[in-house]
Structure 1
Amino acid sequence: MAKTMANQPKQSRHLNRFYYPLDQAVEKPFNWKQMLRLLGYVKPYTGKLVPGAIIAMFISTLIRMAVPVLIGKVAIDIAIKDKDTGFLTYLVIGISILYLVSYLANTFRIKWVNILGQNVIYDLRRNLFSHVQHLSHNFFDKRSAGSILVRILNDVNSLQELFTNGIINLLMDVVMLIGIVVILFVLSPPLALAVMVVLPIMFYISTKLRRNIRRAWQDVRIQKSRLNSHLNESMQGIRITQSFSQEEENTEFFNGVNTDNFESERLATKKSAYFGPFVEMSNAIGTVILISYGSHLLLLGEANGGIEIGTFVSFAFFLGMFWEPISRLGQIYNQLLVAMASSERIFEFLDEQPNVEEKPDAKTIDKMKGHIEFDKVQFSYDEDRIALHEISLEMKPGQTVALVGHTGSGKSTIANLISRFYDPTKGAVKIDGNDLRDLKLDSLRKNISVVLQDTFIFSGTIMENIRFGRPDASDEEVFEAAKVVGADEFIRRLADGYQTEVEERGNILSAGERQLLSFARALLADPRILILDEATASIDTETEMKIQQALRKLLKGRTAIMIAHRLSTIREADQIIVLQHGKILEKGNHQELMQRRGEYFDLVKSQFQMLNTL
């Protein structure tokens, strides 16, 4: 048994590493309502692009169906039979003109449907991204960044072929099929019935393939999601991977995920390709019937219930044309299956509603004082773990309140509730006497700035990053904010100063420099409430002392919530709240809590002893 496990590929032993229960294939019938909803994105363009493309499609389709009749019934049965070369010449010129008109119509059709498709894809991706931007933190807690990227990029891209070609081609092929069937029955009902005897069999087989093909394309989307998730995590964690020399392990796992993605693509393509051979087989059977039974009718002659040579030639033309749209319909059907698999995943996100919802009659706070109250607040991230146990506390306007406690005590949860990233399970969080659930989210969050330990720097210039929270700020205001937090000095040492381009996550900057930029960004927004969540953890002691001096000025008149394990940073706080397992153990300022010799005293003492040991 041990030997078997030792020889087992490593990726199989980590099979559940990127297993997402919310990202599974779902067996459902073809959802026409969903398809109609998808086609609703075409509605804004029905004024010009759609009518133009449809008219051009009808012109080219009618010409294609008219030409075989002109060749068979007119050119052969009339002009050639009567040896009328003049009429035949005019007929050739007329057919040439029709082909030219058809060429022009197809050119405009292709142009218009491509413009239509690109606009629809643009709108869909914009709507999806905008919707995801407004979803609650709970949504992102349950999904990896890679799986979200797949839906916004790959799943939307997979609809492009449907909108640029599929819809119009579907309409064109249906019109052509109906037209051909009508013409064939007009030319010769017995021969038309004979060549179409294979259609019921073909319809039965294609119906049997639907479910398997659609499930296969669903699986492709899921495997792509897992592959992107792994790539996203691997790139973000490359330093950790290299630090522990796990490049080979990570590569082997990637090979496993990549193999799953390859196999799902191969299987889906294989199943989709089944339709083509069936069409070819049907075409071959129809051709055999046409030659055998058509020759018999041709020998009988029109006078004896048979057909003429022109009708036979027209049938040959139309038979070739008949299987062409059927073959394309098979491809379009595959596109529809892919589109259905992708649209299910897209609409799942679009139908997702924020856990933190804004009431229709929500109020706006123009001038926030910053008076914060927690009224018997209980909160759970999930049913099994309560993060806060009916806590009540008050933070007065202009106060600096420090939250201390061991990891998991509920400090960051309190900060998240103040920003209303989550809503309490019980009780209420109030600002200036208003329940946060009664306020507009924009109005609330524009008055709050948050500085996290793991700060995020966007790609762009340093100026743009500082100005992120307040885009209309002047350059002078940006400079002043940077000076106040001590960031101006290191920024001006850079080659391009404030116009220095920083890469994704600000990798060209040190951790302390990134933290200083996040301070400047938060302070430039001029918030009434400032939340510092382990914000000085990445800054050295000397820099921290400079920032503490700046914060004394900046926090004046603002309500500040400081979360810190380094207790030296919170000595001057107006109120210190000691938390443990989601409950408040102690409240008071530094001197009061030290005199009580309780939990806070023990925390300070343990940190002091640790520093002396070092």
Structure 2
Amino acid sequence: MYMMRSSSENKDREKLVSDRDLFRFALSYIKPHKKGITISIILVILASFIGLLPELMIKKIIDNDIPKNDKEGLLNSVTIMIIIYLVSWVIGFIYAYLIVKIGQTTIFNVRNDMYTKLLNQSQTYYDHNQSGRINSKLTNDVDTLSNFLSSSLVGLVASIFQLSGILIIMFYFDITLSLISFAVVPLLFLLAYVIRVPIRNISMKRRKTISDVTSNLAENISGAQVSKSFTREKVNLQEFTAANKENYDVSIRATSLFAIITPAIGLISALGTMLILGYAGYQNAVIGSNKYSPGTIAVFMAYLTRFFQPIITLSMFYSVYQSALASLERIYLFLHEDVTVEEIENPAKMKITNGSIRFENVDFAYKKDMPIFQNLNVTIEGGKTLALVGTTGAGKSSFVKLISRVYDIQNGSIEIDGQDVSSLSLHSLRKSIGLVPQEPRLFNTTILENLRYGNPEISNIDLKQKMSEIGFDEIIKSLPEGYETIVNEGGKRLSRGQRQLIAFGRALIKDPDILILDEATSNLDPIGELRIQKALKKILPNRTAIIVAHRLSTIRNADRILVLENGEIVQDGTHQFLVFEDGNYQKMYLKQVSEPMEDKELAAKILQKK
């Protein structure tokens, strides 16, 4: 299942972005650093040329200082070489620091923008994209771009000027010997040409396979408990092993391919060296011209060795560039992904008077051909409690999600105190709403910090006072470290019921004008449910509340109950009214009644009436 690609992922690969747009996109991040980039390029040029000077001193030492036994000259030559190396090292350190800093600052900004985009993305995006693949974009693609900006781009500039310097010096010493040395250059270009496409392809496959491994890991870690309950360990291991093996095979092929380069360059370099030695030896020994001194031959061999690496770097740059361009394109597409729920320009700030909610002629569908609501009309009186019941898939959770604009409707309007939610800022809208979901999500921090998640400014004293008022303080203090208990990712150190209570407390500490409980008691035992019921009696008066429930015992005191079926309201009334009305609610009630004596007596009356 992890190998199935999302439609958005496929769209990313199919959609083309022009190089001009990508260049402008990259330039927008690099432009603020143009001064630092200019300084870095100047330093790279200096370092490239200064780094070529020691070989010239070697010629002087071999041809002059040693044969003439010139100790002072030898000492001066060695001293100059040391100074050259030190200056080159200092310049190299400065430009490397500047380039890395510019590159990392750029990547920092890119990653922050991506995370900001992620925070502002609509729920639809998360519905259609695997978390592992999203993580891959924020990590692998950004790292690829980082390596390109911090390493490959610097290597390109340095190689160009180093190569230019080597050519100038070699041709200055001897044109013929230079041309003979360069006779092996076509072999380098041939090597680069042959391996360019395979390296590009293998790099793309490697990114794909590591993305598959990351996605598989993320899915199985988050679903570990489900896997264990279905004894899926063996199957999951086989699936992960298959993904990991594919990544292993690709990595081995990539390593083998890259391993060819260094020995091949060494072989070509050795061939060039043999040509230099052969020609120079022929001129000196056979013809007797003594045209080439030992120092000149040594310099040519040294420069020839240094000549090959820039050639390979330049030849391979295209593949590296293409890889970075592919990552840049994915980042570009990620940052330009449509947000389906957006604010209008200059949105209004939510102003709550009594918290009334109105659905007027609302049409909504997740997919065009599968409507959830059609022409839905509902008015919820402010300060009252509305309960929603119905079978699975009736539209209960969709109903409450539309209020806070988790999704946007296709037609009609939703108003809170006469304000169309589409005209409001998302921040002010959602700040006014407190949600307790069926599957509460706790974060890897203390219970205290989880509770104040929606109200960071609340003091510890006030927070604990609120927990005490609703009867939760005693439960929290019974935990090993009380409020300082670290719950781990997703609240795994707590039971499902405890997580539900913490999520409920978190919503209450937010002190919202509108409270939504989406199956908030489904994971609670009778005692936990009773605690919630007692807490609700204290906090619901004069507060608009919407309760989605399967357990009808939790909504007996609701001011109004709506029964949904296939997105339509099929019953509307109070608990006392609906239990005596033939319909879905009565059927659900009779199935669930079991414990309280008053319910048994009421059920008997219903059956007697029937």
Give TM-score, length-normalised by structure 1.
0.87
The one-letter code of the counterpart of 1:467 is R
The equivalences for 1:423-438 within 5 A come to 423-438=408-423
* Other-structure match for 1:9: none
Deviations 1:138-187 (A, max 9, x none): 11111222222222233333444334433322221221012212322333
The one-letter code of the counterpart of 1:458 is F
* Other-structure match for 2:234: 248
Q: Is the 8 A contact 1:136 1:354 kept in 2?
A: yes
Matched, 1:289 2:294: no
CA deviation after TM superposition for structure 1 residue 521, in Å: 0.8
Picking from 540, 549, 552, the partner of 1:564 is 549
* Other-structure match for 1:442: 427
Matched, 1:363 2:351: no
CA deviation after TM superposition for structure 1 residue 321, in Å: 1.1
Q: Is the 8 A contact 1:218 1:342 kept in 2?
A: no
In the aligned structure 1, how far is the partner of 2:407 from the partner of 2:18? 36
In the aligned structure 2, how far is the partner of 1:141 from the partner of 1:610? 39
Q: Is the 8 A contact 1:213 1:337 kept in 2?
A: no
The one-letter code of the counterpart of 1:513 is Q
The one-letter code of the counterpart of 1:66 is L
Q: Is the 8 A contact 1:65 1:179 kept in 2?
A: yes
Matched, 1:68 2:55: yes
In the aligned structure 2, how far is the partner of 1:443 from the partner of 1:117? 37
Counting matched residue pairs gives: 595
Q: Is the 8 A contact 1:276 1:327 kept in 2?
A: no
- Matched residue SS, 2:593: helix
* Other-structure match for 1:538: 523
In the aligned structure 2, how far is the partner of 1:218 from the partner of 1:175? 30
The one-letter code of the counterpart of 2:219 is E
- Which structure 2 residue ranges, 5 or more long, are not aligned? 604-610
Picking from 486, 495, 500, the partner of 1:515 is 500
* Other-structure match for 1:345: 330
* Other-structure match for 2:210: 224
The one-letter code of the counterpart of 2:426 is L
* Other-structure match for 1:156: 142
Distance 1:316 1:30, change over 3 A: farther
The one-letter code of the counterpart of 1:93 is T
* Other-structure match for 1:6: none
CA deviation after TM superposition for structure 1 residue 492, in Å: 1.5
The equivalences for 1:296-307 within 5 A come to 296=282
Matched, 1:130 2:120: no
* Other-structure match for 1:34: 22
- Matched residue SS, 1:450: strand
* Other-structure match for 2:607: none
CA deviation after TM superposition for structure 1 residue 122, in Å: 3.2
Picking from 362, 365, 370, the partner of 1:377 is 362
Picking from 390, 407, 410, the partner of 1:422 is 407
* Other-structure match for 2:461: 476
In the aligned structure 2, how far is the partner of 1:83 from the partner of 1:518? 86
Comparing 150-159 with 377-386, which one deviates more in the overlay? Answer: 150-159
In the aligned structure 2, how far is the partner of 1:574 from the partner of 1:592? 11
Matched, 1:499 2:487: no
* Other-structure match for 2:254: 268
Aligned residues with identical type, % of pairs: 34
* Other-structure match for 1:58: 45
CA deviation after TM superposition for structure 1 residue 52, in Å: 5.5
CA deviation after TM superposition for structure 1 residue 394, in Å: 1.3
Q: Is the 8 A contact 2:192 2:316 kept in 1?
A: no
In the aligned structure 2, how far is the partner of 1:369 from the partner of 1:279? 78
CA deviation after TM superposition for structure 1 residue 584, in Å: 1.9
The equivalences for 1:376-415 within 5 A come to 376-415=361-400
CA deviation after TM superposition for structure 1 residue 268, in Å: 3.1
CA deviation after TM superposition for structure 1 residue 490, in Å: 0.8
CA deviation after TM superposition for structure 1 residue 128, in Å: 1.9
In the aligned structure 2, how far is the partner of 1:222 from the partner of 1:97? 48
- Matched residue SS, 1:468: coil
CA deviation after TM superposition for structure 1 residue 417, in Å: 0.9
Q: Is the 8 A contact 1:221 1:341 kept in 2?
A: no
Matched, 1:144 2:130: yes
Q: Is the 8 A contact 2:44 2:95 kept in 1?
A: yes
In the aligned structure 1, how far is the partner of 2:38 from the partner of 2:170? 29
- Matched residue SS, 1:537: coil
In the aligned structure 2, how far is the partner of 1:100 from the partner of 1:232? 48
Deviations 1:184-205 (A, max 9, x none): 2333333333332443454355
CA deviation after TM superposition for structure 1 residue 499, in Å: 1.8
Matched, 1:458 2:443: yes
CA deviation after TM superposition for structure 1 residue 562, in Å: 0.9
Distance 1:497 1:79, change over 3 A: closer
Matched, 1:184 2:170: yes
* Other-structure match for 1:582: 567
Comparing 582-591 with 444-453, which one deviates more in the overlay? Answer: 582-591
* Other-structure match for 1:489: 474
- Matched residue SS, 2:52: helix
CA deviation after TM superposition for structure 1 residue 397, in Å: 1.5
CA deviation after TM superposition for structure 1 residue 241, in Å: 2.6
* Other-structure match for 1:279: 265
The one-letter code of the counterpart of 1:62 is F
The one-letter code of the counterpart of 1:67 is P
In the aligned structure 1, how far is the partner of 2:286 from the partner of 2:417? 98
Comparing 447-456 with 124-133, which one deviates more in the overlay? Answer: 124-133
The one-letter code of the counterpart of 1:254 is F
CA deviation after TM superposition for structure 1 residue 469, in Å: 0.2
Distance 1:273 1:436, change over 3 A: farther
In the aligned structure 1, how far is the partner of 2:595 from the partner of 2:519? 19
* Other-structure match for 2:536: 551
Deviations 1:266-321 (A, max 9, x none): 233334444444433432343233233444566799999x6665543332221111
Comparing 516-525 with 36-45, which one deviates more in the overlay? Answer: 36-45
The one-letter code of the counterpart of 1:162 is F
* Other-structure match for 1:108: 94
The one-letter code of the counterpart of 1:34 is L
Q: Is the 8 A contact 1:217 1:337 kept in 2?
A: no
CA deviation after TM superposition for structure 1 residue 70, in Å: 3.9
Picking from 198, 201, 205, the partner of 1:215 is 201
In the aligned structure 1, how far is the partner of 2:419 from the partner of 2:104? 46
- Matched residue SS, 2:266: helix
